[in-house]
Structure 1
């Protein structure tokens, strides 16, 4: 089974605009492009990736699709359309769907000052467009409020497939559990909701290990099962707390309680199914 990293980014500070990325962002305040990631993927044995948007803009989505055209390892692109402007979003979807690499939509909902942005009527109408086109939605859930909205969206937008990025950032560093654990359980009750085992190292302690992540990962496995979980390296954001090799190694430690077949699902099979990645075309 093809090994897939279901969550990574690229950005170019010379050609793109990323207002959230400032000098205060530290070592990730620079350009990150495919040539830097390729050898790290090879070292880990990762064959394909899902390239995920870093800004709510057409320019970012267009740049990612161009990178997918140039690099076979990019198996899918999660782009952006203006969900809160449904008529415009419909036209953008029609245009982007022509590209074989376009496989999902995300919006930086955690950057919006309104924690209820994603359940606004106009946004829900936009999400219904995704459901009709069978385009999945990546949910950035940083606040408990964001995670609370997942079951609401599942009810209001039947047929919408969603994936919760970074397991909704569990409170690993503080050894916390609630309300994260219960809210994730409620989200997992919705059969069209998946989750990414990604971005956990930047939610953990400075000396994090796979054992530190394990209770949170095992809770997700219990809730979703391997068939609705997918690994993501979250590069280059992950470099704020380690490197790609450590994320890959320690995530496998956190997943070591699974059978070989179950791990294969989390490390590739689920992402291939969810994003429609052709496993034999690498």
Structure 2
């Protein structure tokens, strides 16, 4: 089994522009490069990662692909193209698809002033380009409304595979449940929709969270999707807002410990390897 971290980031504040990163971001308002993460991956036994865009820009995507060229541990890159400008997006996809590790697209839809941005006709046209290219779409679902859009997109773009980042940020700190639980289950009814068991620590109480806080939400996701449509991700370095890599790995592993071996292997690597079309380490 290849162990995969299906959601991590790098950024360099000297060479890239990340307007959402400000001094208010605390410990993550600095540069993060592979040299810092590699020993932490090794300690956890993680063999591959999926490097995910942190800004809606070509510069960020180009920088990620350059890092992927330099580091075999990066098995796939989820980049960005301007989905709402389908002509330009088609040209960008043609260019990026030549890179063997370009494996998907994401847009920071939660930063768009219009909460229904992803349903615009121009964006849907862009998403149809992804479907035609066999590339999946990472869905940033922060508001319940974002999660509501997933079944709508599944109907409008039936060939598009989607993965919901961070289980759509369940209300763990508040010990809330609805409407998150019903909306996630509804999204899971669409067979081309997957989800990431990632970013949950920053939805919990940063100071005291443990596996027990995450468990009911992960169990609901397992019941809804099954392990073959779920994948582990660290969300490093955002994870540093509520712990560190080792704690996220340890506590997520504790939540998954009751699964049969095959299910655990799927969540910890098999699903991501298949979903993003990654090559096995050789």
Q: Name the TM-score class by shorter chain.
A: over 0.9
1:259 aligns with 2:250: no
Look up the match of 2:10.
10
TM-score, structure 2 length as denominator? 0.99
Look up the match of 2:39.
39
Following superposition, the deviation at residue 280 of structure 1 comes to 3.3
- Displaced runs of 4+ in structure 1, greater than 2 A? none
Alignment partners' CA distance in 2, 1:74 and 1:256: 26
Per-residue Cα deviation, 1:28-83 (whole angstroms, up to 9, x for no partner) = 00000000000000000000000000000000000000000000000000000000
**Stretches of structure 1 lacking an aligned partner (at least 5 in a row):** none
Alignment partners' CA distance in 1, 2:40 and 2:212: 23
Residue correspondence of structure 1 range 189-228 to structure 2 within 5 A: 189-205=189-205, 206-228=207-229
Look up the match of 1:63.
63
What is the alpha-carbon root mean square deviation over aligned residues?
0.5
Following superposition, the deviation at residue 255 of structure 1 comes to 1.1
Alignment partners' CA distance in 2, 1:87 and 1:257: 48
Alignment partners' CA distance in 2, 1:83 and 1:11: 22
Following superposition, the deviation at residue 256 of structure 1 comes to 1.8
Look up the match of 1:243.
244
1:48 aligns with 2:48: yes
Alignment partners' CA distance in 2, 1:155 and 1:74: 32
Residue correspondence of structure 1 range 97-112 to structure 2 within 5 A: 97-112=97-112
TM-score, structure 1 length as denominator? 0.99
Alignment partners' CA distance in 2, 1:201 and 1:253: 14
Following superposition, the deviation at residue 21 of structure 1 comes to 0.3
Per-residue Cα deviation, 1:7-36 (whole angstroms, up to 9, x for no partner) = 000000000000000000001000000000
**Stretches of structure 2 lacking an aligned partner (at least 5 in a row):** none
